[in-house]
Amino acid sequence: MAEFEQQEIPFKERRLRSTKLRRGIFLLPSMFTVANLLCGYYACVASLTGGFDQFDRAAKAIGFAILFDSLDGRVARMTGTTSEFGVQFDSLADVVSFGVAPALMAYAWGVRSLPGQDTLAVEQISQFGWICCLTFLICCAWRLARFNVQGMAPGSSKYFVGLPTPAAAGVIAAFVHGLKTPIHDERWAMGWLVLAAVLGVLMTSTVRYYSFKDVPWTRRQPSLAIVLLCLFVAVVWKYSEVVLTLFASSYVVGGLVLQIVRALRHRVASSRTA
């Protein structure tokens, strides 16, 4: 009996330690989500503060938010700690980081530095920008809600339906980081605000965008792939202004081009069978 009690105590201790470890694992993906939310909040504060350096810091914060957002889901799946609470928490954090933060930054960067703030033209541009950036925010929340309900594209896990919210926010952040100087021309301000509205429309569209979810990140890769990845990281680090702007723009335009190609192929196939 004494020997049984001596064996029972270590078993209880191991079970208790396992339970604590399990609770700690659940905290791990949530920590990445909190980091995502923190970056979004910092981007909002920096955009409201304004200034040459503050806008660039806000753009970098959104970039880090994209990184943390891509990690929280992967960590949750790898550790088996996915939960409905984590999904909803992640979506709420994304509304701040990829909806509120880029909308504020797009408005402040494109309107607040225009000359003649008291003129009627600038006032009208400000009102137009308010509507465009609000459109971006509403479409972001709409896109996240639709994704929670519908998920990926029907019959495929390789494509998103509509432009992903991190990609839309990444386009705005990449342009701000690449150009840095706020807009001082009314015509460029109008084009910039229209771009924000177009990105919002693309988020709620049915255009398919590649998700990169089928890339085997956890499997063994050839040495050449590792070398190319290191070179890409080095190029991004050295020439981030140009590379990130081109990459974000190419992703958005590429999805549109592929959608047009698929539509043309479908029309040609339909005409042949008719």
First to last CA, the chain: 84
* pLDDT tens per residue, range 186-229: 999 999 999 999 999 999 998 999 887 766 666 676 777 788 88
* Cα–Cα distance measured from residue 70 to residue 52, given in angstroms and rounded to the nearest whole number: 28
Please report the domains of the chain, with CATH numbers, ordered by start residue.
24-212+225-273 (1.20.120.1760)
Of the ranges 17-21, 24-28, 209-213, the best mean pLDDT one: 209-213
At 4, phi and psi to the nearest 5?
A: -65, -40
Question: pLDDT tens-digit profile of 114-146?
Answer: 887 778 888 999 999 999 999 999 999 999 999
pLDDT for res 153: 59
> Token pair for residue 135?
């459109």
pLDDT at 50 over 90: no
pLDDT in the model for residue 226: 80
**What pLDDT is stored for residue 152 in this prediction?**
62
